[in-house]
Amino acid sequence: MITYLYWLLVFLLAFGLIFLFGARLANWRAALVASLLVLVLGWGLYFFYLQQIFVKRWGGVMEIKVPAGQRHIMATWKDDNLWIENYDPDTNRCIFTEYSRGNLLEGKVIIRNCKPVAWPAPALPAD
């Protein structure tokens, strides 16, 4: 919910600048430059700083896809960075991938010959 409120605020601010500079002051060039600047700065602030903070602390929205051929095992937070553990059954590796703010400093840890405890799931006995 907080993510949607943030983007609503950014777009309202951009349209407010268009109204202020364009309609009130009749300076459409300044209106477009100011609104584009607000949109670019709002996107940068969200992508490089606020996205994971919103998700972790205030119930924001974030989507991560599991790579093809891998199976998701778990996810955990370390500070404001999200760590995802996936299992690749073809290569028998567990892959920990870090999703940091802005995807600038992402870490990856590979464990070879990994056999997850609950993988594959044991067969249930027939009654």
DSSP, residue by residue, 19-48: IIIIIIT--HHHHHHHHHHHHHHHHHHIII
Q: What is the pLDDT of residue 105?
A: 62
Beta partners for residue 74, in sequence order:
85
In a domain, 117, yes or no: no
Per-residue pLDDT tens digits of the chain, which is 127 residues long: 788 889 999 999 999 988 888 877 788 888 889 999 999 999 999 888 888 788 888 877 778 888 898 888 888 888 878 888 999 888 889 999 888 766 666 788 888 988 776 655 556 666 5
Query: Rounded distance, CA 72 to CA 5, Å?
Result: 30
- The pLDDT value recorded for residue 38 is 94
What are phi and psi for residue 112, nearest 5 degrees?
Answer: -85, 155
Q: Is the pTM higher than 0.75?
A: no
* Number of domains comprising the chain: 2
pLDDT at 102: 65
User: Are both 11 and 32 inside the same structural domain?
Assistant: yes
Same structural domain for residues 54 and 10?
Answer: yes
The answer as to whether 119 is a domain residue is no
Give the residue numbers spanning the domain of 50: 2-58
Looking at the domain assignment, is residue 123 inside a domain? Answer: no
Q: Do residue 6 and residue 48 come from a single domain?
A: yes
Give the pLDDT of residue 118.
61
